[in-house]
Structure 1
């Protein structure tokens, strides 16, 4: 019998519901407080200084950006899309080698960002702008980074989220469906729908739920998720599959009808 106070305890309420996700992982997830949304990544001006041919008139921010400010920059039609692009890559901490590779494709990426900013795209259409078959169109720009561009440039309310390997791993641990949410167009749509489902259960925005799934280095949920990935059987097969998807763009699992 719940006490009157326990009846309003959200954790106990979720435990009494039919469990939509895997235990004990779901309880561990909901009991860990969400991380505060702070400025992260690198200062865009410093990060972009290592790239060739960045126009000198680009007035890039000189400090790290919080998520809300970065989205305002990306959505502002007065801001050239390539300036906003550099801000996103700095926020995400894209590595130097991939940064140089991707910057070489900027004239091809620029109209895609303009199209994202204009809106009207669903998740499948947005994802396919960056892919050719099952591979990224642009060297150095994998799903972990081009889904950042999809999120920050798209209009709010489109349920288009950042889905990197940490978010994917968290979703797969919580759902118990390790092969559904992969780095493919259909897998991206499925992951975004799952994020929406979770945020409706826990209340809050989809962006906050995605950030909660991402967690952060040395954060409680990240440690829990890493333990689950590392404890998988088969000589760490799951982790190797994830590394193969994100390093080569090749999915080691044959696609199903939709995924």
Structure 2
């Protein structure tokens, strides 16, 4: 019964914020005021407000109160096509900053090796990049590359900003993504720290293979974690 009441209060407050009955930066009524308004115990209000904060609608200032957060910017992202993430963001007019998180040889992982059609004796390197827009972390890109395909990846990996650009430098100009899988997940502790998000913020995960269309050679397997509230996802085909 308590859970049902909390859900109704949460829904009511969310609708008021969405309808701008509470404006950005406006201080919400106190726990006592909301308790009287909804005729529920203060503890019920506190749990409801905690959920509202987890969902990113409000923020707290200790000892002062809770306030409506600024509206989150959203970037339209086409999930199909032959254009790199870097180029897509630049075309959208947003300034993208990429931080290379390093390159390391990974231990054998059957799933990754199978996607790369790699042998167990092959050396596969993991290259991770953290993406920022408007100085906010919005995505983690992780590329898995077989050294047999890219012999210098161990030396080059820690400096790469865009994998598509790197492959073009190697002479691969007809790049495509294939076998893409989309799912929803929740961040690990390290991902929370990198993306500045809480444990309950859902992430969109896309796994795919990048190939050279001319030779059908698999260049990498990619896993991307997107903050779900920072993007609008265009799933139509490129013209």
TM-score (ref. length: structure 2): 0.27
Larger Rg: 2
In terms of fraction of residues, the more strand-rich structure is 2
